[in-house]
Amino acid sequence: MPLSRIITNSITDDAVTTAKVTDDAITSAKLGLTFSSGSATQDGTANNTTYDIVTGLTIPDKALIVVSFDFAGKSGENGTPGSNATCAVHITNSSNTPVGGLNGTFMSNENPKTGWRNVYDTISYINDTGSALTSHKIRVQQYADGDFNSALVTVKYRIIGLG
């Protein structure tokens, strides 16, 4: 139906144009859509070593970062794994301090006999500090008290606007 048939509020055919709609374009920030996303992998080669798997992240004010991760076991490695296996994923600031507490620390404690058992989960952090957070990182670490059996770590992240 043409706009000229709408009488309420005196809307006319000329009142709404493509140019007028795009003048106040709706941005992803206004809608709360994804600001950035990505993924990375790390093939850990040393026990109890921290890897900065993603660096240089900016988390805008009123944004949420969600990180999913998977420590994929590598069976058949030489040596006898210890009685526990710990894997950690943290979102850290430029001083390497975890934001939002010690998020993402997981222990399997299952005596993995042929390598690490797969561990997967998600961690998240909401930036409600009043300003953008810059130079943030996603860090991963794996540890076993016996001979080290490494795991391939994969992280995927998404930063989403909330306000």
Note the pLDDT tens digit of each residue in 17-60: 555 555 455 555 455 577 889 999 988 777 778 899 999 999 99
CATH fold group of domain 27-161: Jelly Rolls (2.60.120)
43: part of which helix (H) or strand (E)? strand 34-43
**pLDDT for res 153:** 86
Note the pLDDT tens digit of each residue in 83-133: 456 778 899 998 998 887 666 656 554 444 444 567 778 889 999 999 999
Contact between 160 and 34 (Cβ < 8 Å):
yes
Tokens found for residue 23: 């003048």
Residue extents of the structural domains in the chain:
27-161
Q: Which residues contact 71 (CB under 8 A, 6 or more apart)?
A: 87, 116, 118, 119, 120, 140, 142, 151, 152, 153
CA distances in angstroms from 156 to 22, 38, 81, 124, 146, listed in the order given: 33, 6, 28, 12, 29
With CA atoms as reference, report the closest residue to 90 among 56, 139, 133. Answer: 139
Which residue has 């009685």 as its token pair? 83
